[in-house]
Structure 1
Amino acid sequence: MSLRHALLGMLAQGPASGYDLLKIFEISLANVWPATQSQVYAELSRLADAGLVKVAAQGPRGRKEYAIDETGLAELRHWLTEVEPSHAGRSDMLLRVFFLGQVDQEQARAYLRRRAEFGAEQHERLAALKGVVSGGDDDLSVYGRLALEWGLRFSALQREWAEWAEGQLQQDQGKPPE
């Protein structure tokens, strides 16, 4: 996925300024595809230069409201239906797991404990967003709920797996799991 397609998808819902898009990112897409202010504004300029969006309105202090045009909508639809998602299975977290034998057992267990805590924290943060997207029947709410549920399930899986893995290390050392 690219920031380009995330912005096109949000603009397909209606015109928005860079600031508006950043706010939407904060409550929805940041969990899927984080972006900074400079990235969003730079990509909006590139989208406009490529003829995929247009400046629909300008306000005070240089505020620009962008709208997707037919070319941008066609690009979004092409990406949604014809471009296969990346299935790259890179995970620096799991790469570290492969090499935990290079540190002592307590450090390895502490690493796994931190992964469990991270999963729990992420799950809690995502659960807090349920109220934000639960009531709407617009596309961002409907499909946002589906993405949010994936995040909730994935974060729960991360926590459960890390707790299990830590328990495995404790068993391998002959210690009872905590």
Structure 2
Amino acid sequence: MSLPHALLGLLALRPATGYELARMFDGDLGRYAWQAGHTSVYPELGKLAAQGLAEVTEEGARGAKTYALTEDGRAELRRWMLEPQRQGKVRNEGVLRLFLIAALPREDALAVLDRTAEEAERDLAELRQVRAEHPDDASMLGEQGIGQLAAEFGVRQYETVRDWARWAAERLRAEG
């Protein structure tokens, strides 16, 4: 995923200022999907406007600019969303640690697995609380449903990680 496409997607939901977009990355979007700060968002918005993918629709106080998606921007977002996802260079520290768990003594490996299960359980409970605060009564598509599909993915992912870590720890304990 790239920041330009994240911004195009957010602008497809509604026009926004750079400040509003940066705040979205400070919330659940940044925690669960993609992080970007003000120093990245503002220059990227300028590039999107220069490429004709977004346009300034309003200028407010202190130079605040409201950006909206253009038809070319909507077409680029659609192209990117519909193309098969390519796996480039992957850097996932959590998965790397799991690949290397066999390098640890059994008790340390069990500690890693138990901690992985506990962290997944904690994150799962937190995400379920967020979902409870934003019930499914909104459409799953459009601005009102933003995050509902992703949140359900996150719930299922945390459940899977928790269950896997518990399974792996049980197997390791049974061997010892």
Give your verdict on TM over 0.5.
yes
Does residue 168 of structure 2 align to residue 165 of structure 1? yes
Is contact 1:57-1:65 (8 Å) kept?
yes
Counterpart of 1:6 in structure 2 is: 6
1:151 positional shift: 0.7
The separation in 2 between residues aligned to 1:37 and 1:55, in whole angstroms, is 17
- Residues 1:172 and 1:112: Cα distance change in structure 2 (over 3 Å): same
The separation in 1 between residues aligned to 2:129 and 2:26, in whole angstroms, is 13
The separation in 2 between residues aligned to 1:86 and 1:140, in whole angstroms, is 27
User: Which of residues 130, 149, 154 in structure 2 aligns to 1:151?
Assistant: 154
Amino acid at match of 2:47: R
- Residues 1:24 and 1:98: Cα distance change in structure 2 (over 3 Å): closer
- Residues 1:128 and 1:42: Cα distance change in structure 2 (over 3 Å): farther
Matches within 5 A, 1:1-178: 1-30=1-30, 31-81=32-82, 83-87=83-87, 90=90, 91-130=92-131, 131-132=133-134, 134-137=136-139, 139-142=142-145, 144-173=147-176
SS of alignment partner, residue 67 of structure 2: strand
- Residues 1:100 and 1:28: Cα distance change in structure 2 (over 3 Å): closer
- Residues 1:18 and 1:153: Cα distance change in structure 2 (over 3 Å): same
Amino acid at match of 2:3: L
Q: TM-score, normalised by structure 1?
A: 0.83
Amino acid at match of 1:85: Q
1:87 positional shift: 4.2
Amino acid at match of 2:117: A
Which string of whole-angstrom CA distances, capped at 9 and with x for unpartnered residues, describes residues 63-99 of structure 1?
Answer: 2211111111111111122x21124694432332232
SS of alignment partner, residue 12 of structure 1: helix
Counting aligned pairs with the same residue, the percent is 37
Is contact 1:27-1:129 (8 Å) kept?
no
Q: TM-score, normalised by structure 2?
A: 0.84
Aligned residue pairs, count: 172
The separation in 1 between residues aligned to 2:56 and 2:134, in whole angstroms, is 28
Structure 1 unaligned blocks of 5 or more: 174-178
Amino acid at match of 1:92: E
